Amino acid sequence: MKELRVYTEPLSTDATAERVMFYTRRADGPYYLWFYESEPGRWRFSRVHVSRLTLRVLCAASWQAVPAALQARLNEHYLD
């Protein structure tokens, strides 16, 4: 997708669980937090205000690190 950036929060050294949250931003648009809900079994999102991100450190994520179900959801969300 054109100008889409995907981010994650860095894992702590003692973390063993898979990442379940991703952040996205397209061009100069808003940031979204994506999280998986086991009930109803799908990826959901919430718009994040920039001021809430100032205390977080985000790392760029490769497209291959994004789960396939989330990739499909992002394709729906960010229609070209």
> What pLDDT sits at residue 18?
52
Question: Tell me: the pLDDT tens digits for 28-58?
Answer: 999 999 999 888 889 999 999 887 776 568 8
Mean of the per-residue pLDDT values of the chain: 84
pLDDT at 75 over 80: yes
Domain count, the chain: 1
pLDDT at 19 over 80: no
What pTM was estimated for this model as a whole? Answer: 0.81
Range of the domain at 50: 4-77
Query: What residues contact residue 2 under an 8 Å CB cut-off, 6+ apart?
Result: 26, 27, 80
Euclidean distance between CA atoms 7 and 40, whole angstroms: 24
Residue type, 12: S
Q: What percent of the chain is helix, strand and coil (3-state, nearest 5)?
A: 20, 35, 45
Upstream peptide bond of 67 is cis (omega within 30 degrees of 0):
no
